[in-house]
Amino acid sequence: MDKLALFKGKPILKESLKFYNSIGKKEEIAVARVIKGWPLSGFVGVAGEYFLGGKYVKELEKLFKKYFKVKYAVSFNSASTALQGAVAALGIGPGDEVITSPYTMSATASAILFNNALPVFADIEENSFCLNPKSIEKNITNKTKAILVVNLFGNSANYDLISGIAKKYKLKIIEDNAQSPGGTYKGKLTGTIGDIGVFSFNFHKVIQCGEGGMLITNNKKYALRAQLVRNHGEVVIDDLYFDKKIYEPILGNNYRLTEILAAIAIEQFKKLDKLNKQRIDLANYLTKKLYQFDWLVPSKIFENSKHVYYIYPFRFLAKKIGIKRATFVKAIKAEGFSLSVGYQKPLYLIPAYQKKEIYPHSHFPFISKEYPHKVSYRKGICPVVERMYEKELLTTTICQPPTTKKTLDLFMKAIKKIEENVESLKEYERKN
């Protein structure tokens, strides 16, 4: 690229962008307070007061209940384990299918496999990057038990239609809301629309404590089952009082959040609205400017809804500009900015699904007596996801503080420069 006359000059962005970091003094003080106060974990795996965790874990859960106006909040040590707990909470197991998006972090679908149920992948909408209701409906079989919806990039899925389908076919909805804390769909907070919502406090997320997660629900039984999954629940089942005193078959593990991490997450959660607002302001500014290019398409947002821009996604239409996505990205990089292409590989294309193999000696659960008919993970099952991955999707973290609107102006300048010099980029493509 540097051989191109166009990019011989200095890049438009001269200094490298600083990383997003929302950890500050308040978190530092909180950590010191916990260390002095002891214990560092409040959990004990026996029935009683400490089965549900310590002081800070309970405080964090209380804040979630209040903010999201839900009856129950159950913290986990990650969103991955919380998702696993969510699937288990619904009683889903071998022989069951859960419809989900292949355009997500692998943990979304693994949560289904960890319960020995099968993920069935439906396609997405090209403008929201979330599940397409029509594709969900097409994939329903008599084994389908739930839809695991992913609110991708900070957006929300099309819940009016998805909830309608769930009702019609008597399916449960789990929301993977790891990327959209504080986002809304038609006025409702995402994570509260389905039967269970899951959040992440992983280092890369909007609010974080290193690693951590949360599950919220209004259903007492789901909350209890999630609590059992989190803390070796099988051992306490004899001592617990259920609604009808019936035995709940379940297997638990150690998915507990520590007190220090909970204390950091509390401080982070208090900042959520402020942190979201900073991103939304930057993203709205960028979106407005991007409209001048008919070959770049920002994400669709449903009316009266809030996208919280965990990352900023937009589509690249190669036919309209006449150059490849890869060339555009090279040219943007030459101007000092970075862009990611394609997001994750569609999950069904990774070896575990292609080979239907997660154990060295067995194809369970993919090929088993529980699944006499075959679930397909063939290339081509989700054409929109594949098109986004291979050709159209671009993502940027530029809409995160400490970026300012000035940097976004420079970003626009770089895109304009590329558009004005598209002929020399075509020339570059011919030669390379």
| Interacting residues toward ligand PLP by CB under 6 A | 78-80, 104-105, 107-108, 150, 176, 178-179, 200, 202, 213
Q: Compute the least distance from the CB of residue 220 to ligand PLP, in Å.
A: 25
Nearest 5°: the CA angle 258, 237, 54 is 20
Closest to ligand PLP by CB, 256 vs 330, is 256
Q: What is the C-alpha end-to-end distance of the chain, expressed in Å?
A: 9
Name which of 27 and 176 has its Cβ closer to ligand PLP: 176
Residues 31, 211, 157, 404, Cα dihedral to 10°: 60
Residue 9: count of CB within 10 angstroms of its CB: 10
Nearest residue (CB) to ligand PLP, 76 versus 377: 76
Least distance from C-beta 245 to ligand PLP, angstroms? 34
In this complex, which beta carbon is closest to ligand PLP, that of residue 106 or of residue 284?
A: 106
C-alpha distances out from residue 127 to 131, 284, 324, 329, Å: 11, 16, 20, 21
Residue 382 beta carbon to ligand PLP: minimum distance, rounded to whole angstroms: 16
Closest to ligand PLP by CB, 105 or 399: 105
Of 214 and 394, the one with the shorter C-beta distance to ligand PLP is: 214
Q: How far is CA 203 from the centre of its chain?
A: 13
Minimum CB separation from ligand PLP for residue 317, in Å?
26
Which residue's CB is nearer to ligand PLP, number 216 or number 296?
216
Least distance to ligand PLP from the beta carbon of 175, Å? 10
Token pair 């404590």 is found at 209
> Rg of the chain's alpha carbons, rounded to an integer?
23
Decide: residue 17, CB within 10 A, 0-12 exposed, 13-18 middle, 19+ buried: middle
Report the nearest approach of ligand PLP to the CB of residue 124 (Å): 13
**Helix, strand or coil for residue 204?**
coil
**Least distance between ligand PLP and beta carbon 68 (Å):** 17
Q: CA separation (Å) from 111 to 176, 194, 241, 248, 291?
A: 11, 17, 27, 20, 38
* Residues 6 or more apart in contact with residue 91 via CB below 8 angstroms: 225
